Amino acid sequence: MSVNLAERRALLRQLGILLLPACAPINSWASPALRITMANLMPWSDQAGVAGVLVELARSIERRSGQVLEIAPLPYARAFALLEQGSVDLMLAVQSDRLDHIANCVAAVSDAEITVVVRPGMTINTLADLRGKRVGHLRFADYDPTFAAATDIRKYEFNSYNQGLRMLQIGRLDALVAIRSAIQYTLKNMGLPPAQASDMLPLRRATVALYQSKRCIFNASVKKELALACANVRRENLAHILLSRLLVD
């Protein structure tokens, strides 16, 4: 059953529930703001608080659409669950069948390279080389349909790329399926040399999209403005520009 945004917030206020901390203080539940989340894969701190590639994309969508957004980067699994519940209105994420099942895609924002990262000393040429290997992936993330369908790979979930890379480093995993730029950032952030992820096998180019929870309803004109803002962000290749600044030595 779909839940009207105003009705949902009124109910939560009556129950005394505040589901998420936003990056900026929430002045009132009467605010017309929409709550948006994203995986906290590449966050950093600045004078304005929490920032990061997806956070900056959300802020750009906010400016271009004129719609106030309450931004809350979270672990991917929690962000996914809150979107499914309708506790947040929007999510920026790599497009997947699992997300398409619980939310509506508003528009594409950018793309991302999905890759297999292997432990030092190991090389692979195809996904078939991972048969029988221990391969980690971000909890709830569904980055590649071929990998998801494979039954001869020993799959393990991790909660963050930091955790996944540590498991790779100590030999608990043979490989990771991940977003290439997020792995590069995490290596840099952890102070690890690129050799700690010695080989990468590209799997596919995936779309990063803005999703709307199927349990949240807002004005069609708002959705149109959000979609237009996303199209402009993608046309200007903003994600690539932000990543270039982030990953520069």
Report the CATH superfamily, name and number, of domain 112-205.
Answer: Periplasmic binding protein-like II (3.40.190.10)
Residue 42's nearest CA partner among 190, 198, 210, 224 is 190
Phi, psi of 202 (to 5 degrees): -65, 135
Residue 46: per-residue pLDDT: 55
Residue 91: per-residue pLDDT: 98
Query: What Cα–Cα distance (Å) separates residue 76 from each residue in 21, 41, 63, 126, 207?
Result: 15, 8, 25, 27, 16
Q: Where are the domains of the chain?
A: 3-111+207-247, 112-205
Average confidence (pLDDT) over 186-193: 83
Helix (H) or strand (E) holding 167: helix 161-169
- The least confident of 57-61, 73-77, 194-198, 232-236 is 194-198
At 38, which amino acid appears?
A: M
* DSSP-assigned states of every residue in 175-198: EEEEEHHHHHHHHHHHT--GGGG-
- For the chain, give the mean pLDDT: 84
Rg of the Cα trace of the chain?
19
Please check whether residue 53 is in contact with residue 42, taking contact to mean a CB–CB distance below 8 angstroms. yes
Instruction: Write down the pTM of the prediction.
Output: 0.81
Report the CATH superfamily, name and number, of domain 3-111+207-247.
Answer: Periplasmic binding protein-like II (3.40.190.10)
| Matching fold, domains 3-111+207-247 and 112-205 | yes
